[in-house]
Amino acid sequence: MKHLLKLLDLSGEQITELLNLGDQLKYEQKHGIDHQRLKGQTLGMIFQKSSTRTRVSFEVGIHQLGGTGLFLSANDLQIGRGEPVQDTARVLSRYLDGVMIRTFAQQEVEDLAKFGSIPVINGLTDFCHPCQVLADLMTVREHKGGLAGLKLCYIGDGNNMANSLIVGGLKVGMNVSVATPKAYQPDGTVLSFASAYGDKFSLTDDIHAAAAGADVVFTDVWASMGMEGEAQQRRAAFTGYQVNDELLSVCARDVMVQHCLPAHRGEEITESVFEAHANEIFDEAENRLHAQKAVMVKLMEKPPLF
C-alpha cells in the first residue's frame, strides 16, 4: 500500500488493518501513550475544496504523530495557475514526506501519485471519499462490535459518499443497499464492482425497501460542494429521500444513523433523528482523526536506520 487514492485499490484485509491501527492509535491517545511515529515529517495538505473536518483532523493528526502539517490552498500553489500536476508532484516530492489533497477531479489525485515519489492521500474528490468511509466503518464497528453480516443502507445522492460506502462496506463483508433517484445513481464503475457481490448489494429508488432491516443508515446532503447551482433542482428530485422516524421504523430496532456532515436538517435528515443519533454522528466525526492517523502512519512511517 503506497497511497490511499480510492477504496477500490484496497483489499478487505487492508481496510481492516487500517481500522485496527486506527483503534490502536485512538486508545493510545486517550490513555496518554506517546505515539509520535512520524516525528520530523511534513505532510503537505492541498485544499482546492474548503473543509472543516478534513483540515482540522489532518492538521491535528500529523501534529499528534510528531510531524508538521503544511496547509496549501489553491491560491498558494502554481497548480491553481496552470502548472501541470506532474510538475507540482515532482516538486512537492523534493520537499515533503506525504501529500493529502482535497479536490474535484479524481484524475488529479491519481496523477499526483503517478508522477510524485511520496505517499498521496485522497482527502476527497467528486468520485470518492475514502478517509470519511474509513472513519464510518471504524465507528460502526465500535458501536456494533463487528462489520461482517451487518446491513448498511445509504439514502440520497449517488455521490462520492455513496461510491465509497458501497466499496468499503462490501469489501469488509457487509450487505449494502442504496436508494437514489434513478437520475442520481452511483458511478458506473462502482456499480460494476458491486455487481460481483450478487445479492449482498442492492440498488433501488424505494427508500423503505432499501432500509428494511438496516443496522446502520447513512445519508448526505442533496447538493454537494460545487453543485450549489443545482440546489433547487436537486431539492425537487430528492423530495421523499429523507432519513426520518418513519424510515427508521422499518430498520433494525437498534439502528445507527451516520452523516458525514455538514447536515442540512429538514432536508436529507430531520432535526429529531439527527439529535437522537448525535452521539453516533459525532463519534464518526471524531474518528476522522484516528482513521486518518492510521493512514498516515501506514503510508509515511519509516523503518529505523539502525
| Residue 128 annotated in ligand binding | no
- The answer to whether 209 and 250 have CB atoms below 8 angstroms apart is no
For residue 169, give the C-alpha cell.
462496506
CA distance 174 to 180: 19
| Residue 260 annotated in ligand binding | yes
- The answer to whether 69 and 41 have CB atoms below 8 angstroms apart is no
Cis peptide before 262 (omega within 30 of 0): yes
| Residue 51 annotated in ligand binding | yes
| Residue 181 annotated in ligand binding | no
Measured CA to CA in angstroms, residue 12 lies from 15, 140, 177 at distances of 5, 16, 18
| Residue 131 annotated in ligand binding | yes
Task: Please give the DSSP secondary-structure letter assigned to residue 8.
Answer: G
| Residue 160 annotated in ligand binding | yes
CA distance 261 to 244: 17
Which residues does the annotation mark as catalytic? 102, 129, 132, 220, 260, 288
CA nearest to 8, candidates 148, 90, 106, 74:
106
Burial 242-269, CB ≥16 within 10 A → b, else e: bbeeebbebbbeebbbbbbbebbeebbb
| Residue 202 annotated in ligand binding | no
| Residue 227 annotated in ligand binding | no
CA 29, 54, 2, 38: dihedral to nearest 10 degrees? -40
| Residue 224 annotated in ligand binding | yes
| Residue 288 annotated in ligand binding | yes
Helices (H), the chain: 12-30, 53-64, 85-95, 106-115, 130-144, 160-171, 188-195, 207-211, 231-237, 245-248, 271-276, 278-300
Specify the length of the chain in residues. 306
| Residue 261 annotated in ligand binding | yes
CA distance 287 to 141: 11
Amino acid of residue 122: N
| Residue 102 annotated in ligand binding | yes
Binding-site residues for carbamoyl phosphate sit at 51-54, 78, 102, 129-132, 260-261, 288
Binding-site residues for L-ornithine sit at 160, 220, 224-225
Binding-site residues sit at 51-54, 78, 102, 129-132, 160, 220, 224-225, 260-261, 288
